[in-house]
Amino acid sequence: MLARLNRSTACLLFTGATLLAQTPPPVSPPPVVVTPPPVVTETETTGTPPAATQDPESESRTEARRGRGRRGQGRGERGQGRGSQDGGPSRSDPGQGRGGRSSTSNDLPEFTPVAAPSLAALDGKQYFWFTMYPDFVVKFDPETDAIVQKVQLKGGMFWRSTLTHDRKRLLVVTNQQTSIEVIDLSSGTLTGNHLFQEEGMTLRIRSVRECPGGVHWIVQTDRVKKEIDRYSFEASEYLLYDSANQKVVRKMKKLPEGLGRSARLSADGTHWISSSSGNMTFLDARTFKELGKIDLSTPRFFGAGGIRLSSTDLLDRRDPNRALMLFTTTDPVEKRRTNWGVVDIDLKGRKVSKVTEWGPSKSSWGMRVAHKPQIAVAMGRGRGEQRQMTTYDLRTGKQIAEAYYEFRPRRSLVAISPNAKKVYVGVAGSDFEVFDGTTLQRLPTVELEGEIVGTIHVIDG
């Protein structure tokens, strides 16, 4: 045992000696040589140093400075390229908008005024014009309760109709809301079809507004973009459209300032009349600049409320010098009560001529007016399943008759005959429920061949 331990110890000692013999001896560091700085002459100070003596970091910094100089020069050259040297507009051009983009005017084109029908035309015969399912525009005689003429649309089902200012044409949106068909009401014929389309887009016509003169329209469109795998909704646009040449003159993101929902053309077609902050405002027909105003919001006397105009003109917006408007106002004593009446407005002198209050107003809706006899009918609150109908004399504000009837769902007042002898209830059906205009007694129902849809326009015969 002792002999084996001695042999193991001897082996370990021999291995350690061998490893020590194979380890290289430590290397001493080289001596440090101190190089004196080069001698700088006057020529080297003012000139470019020789390449052999330049510091690499100094060289890279110099190139960086040169690069910045070249980039700055490039920007200057590109800036000149945006200027007038290449024929483009410069930023200093006073005719340009922000960012060098040209500013677009919202002024409407030049026009020749077109007037509404005269007051004297109310003495003649009048008809109803409306759209009827599936693709017809029809002329209806309220004296005989019969259709006397039909015009078939080319684009299939209708969506909405707009009567022109001179009340001689009907603009009907058809063709899945991509076309506007023009119906001449005097001849009862289709005289135009205007298609609106844009490459890569699906357009939907939402509204049509006639501009002064009748040639140009403002057409509101919803836009749907056809993507590779989906449809995306884009912002709506307002198109200024030249119907004579069938082309879009201008695209706008919104209506011109002042042309709100309440704005309408004057009877002579020379300017706009709108409601602004409760007042009647007169606007230039092309530029929409304010020409004058009639103050209706200021109380006429202490404690009285302002005059709130309705959309009903008893002169049917036919007189360029005068308007006879229904209005409501707050009762000067009982503030929770509303009075109603009629206000006579001098449109030429732009002032209120006379205010006549009739007393507390009744809750009603859907009023229809026969303008020649100045008789109106409206629906009001009901009793159980029945609904109220009331007729009024708009020369005195007095109630003529009242009746209660039960109607099918979605039925409402749609028209009163021009002579006020008949009242018509429709919607949601192909029939007119007819009532006597004096007593409101039920008359025979008129059945038509198609569903009656949309506004019923009263047109001079």
The contacts found for 240-243 with CB under 8 angstroms, 24 or more apart, are: 240/108, 240/109, 240/211, 240/216, 241/194, 241/196, 241/216, 241/217, 242/109, 242/215, 242/216, 243/182, 243/192, 243/194, 243/215, 243/216, 243/217
- In this predicted model, what pLDDT tens digit does every residue of 37-66 receive, in sequence order? 343 333 333 333 333 333 433 433 443 443
* Least confident interval from 4-13, 83-92, 274-283: 83-92
For residue 356, being part of any structural domain is answered with no
- In this predicted model, what pLDDT tens digit does every residue of 58-87 receive, in sequence order? 433 443 443 444 334 433 333 333 333 333
Q: Identify the burial level of 142 via C-beta atoms within 10 angstroms of its C-beta, where 0-12 means exposed, 13-18 middle and 19 or more buried.
A: buried
- Mean pLDDT (the chain) is 82
Among the candidates 216, 235, 256, a domain finishes at: 256
Query: 31 falls in which pLDDT band (50, 70, 90)?
Result: very low
For residue 454, being part of any structural domain is answered with yes
For residue 173, being part of any structural domain is answered with yes
> In sequence order, what DSSP letters do the residues of 287-327 get, joined into one string?
T--EEEEE--SS-SSTTPPPPEEEEEETTTT--SSEEEEEE
Rounded to two decimals, the pTM is 0.76
For residue 261, being part of any structural domain is answered with no
Determine the pLDDT at residue 81.
37
Question: The domain containing residue 245 runs over which residues?
Answer: 106-256
Please state, in angstroms and rounded to a whole number, the distance separating the CA atoms of residues 140 and 418: 12
Please state, in angstroms and rounded to a whole number, the distance separating the CA atoms of residues 208 and 173: 9
> In sequence order, what DSSP letters do the residues of 245-292 get, joined into one string?
TTEEEEEESSPPTT--TT-EE-TTSSEEEEEETTEEEEEETTT--EEE
Counted residue by residue, the chain has a size of 461
The contacts found for 427-435 with CB under 8 angstroms, 24 or more apart, are: 427/452, 430/133, 432/145, 433/407, 434/145, 435/389, 435/403
> In sequence order, what DSSP letters do the residues of 224-245 get, joined into one string?
EEE-SS-EEEEEEEEEEEETTT
- CA dihedral 206→211→213→217, nearest 10 degrees, is -40
Determine the pLDDT at residue 163.
97
Do 246 and 375 reside in the same domain of the chain? no
Determine the pLDDT at residue 104.
61
CATH for 125: 2.130.10.10
Please state, in angstroms and rounded to a whole number, the distance separating the CA atoms of residues 351 and 345: 6
For residue 379, being part of any structural domain is answered with yes
Do 119 and 242 reside in the same domain of the chain? yes
If you compute the radius of gyration of the chain from its CA atoms, what whole number of angstroms results?
42
CATH for 424: 2.40.128.630
CB 125: neighbour CB atoms within 10 A? 12
**What does the pLDDT average to over 231-256?**
94
| More confidently predicted of 357 and 65 | 357
For residue 148, being part of any structural domain is answered with yes
**Positive or negative torsion for Cα 307, 311, 316, 317:** positive
* Least confident interval from 105-109, 421-425, 450-454: 105-109
**What does the pLDDT average to over 347-367?**
93
Among the candidates 208, 232, 256, a domain finishes at: 256
* Number of domains composing the chain: 2
State in Å, rounded, how far the first CA of the chain is from the last one.
Answer: 142
Do 123 and 247 reside in the same domain of the chain? yes
Helices within 23-55 (DSSP H only)? 42-46
List the Cα angle 394/370/435 in 5-degree steps.
105
- The percentage of the chain sitting over the pLDDT mark of 90, rounded to a whole number, equals 67
Please state, in angstroms and rounded to a whole number, the distance separating the CA atoms of residues 310 and 363: 14
Cis, bond preceding 24 (omega within 30 deg of 0): no
Residue 110 has φ and ψ, to the nearest 5°, of -60, 150
Among the candidates 256, 285, 308, a domain finishes at: 256
Do 252 and 367 reside in the same domain of the chain? no
Determine the pLDDT at residue 77.
36
* Least confident interval from 72-81, 169-178, 445-454: 72-81
Query: 259 falls in which pLDDT band (50, 70, 90)?
Result: confident
For residue 384, being part of any structural domain is answered with yes
Contact between residue 377 and residue 415 where contact means Cβ atoms under 8 Å apart: no
Query: 276 falls in which pLDDT band (50, 70, 90)?
Result: confident
For residue 395, being part of any structural domain is answered with yes
Contact between residue 360 and residue 339 where contact means Cβ atoms under 8 Å apart: yes
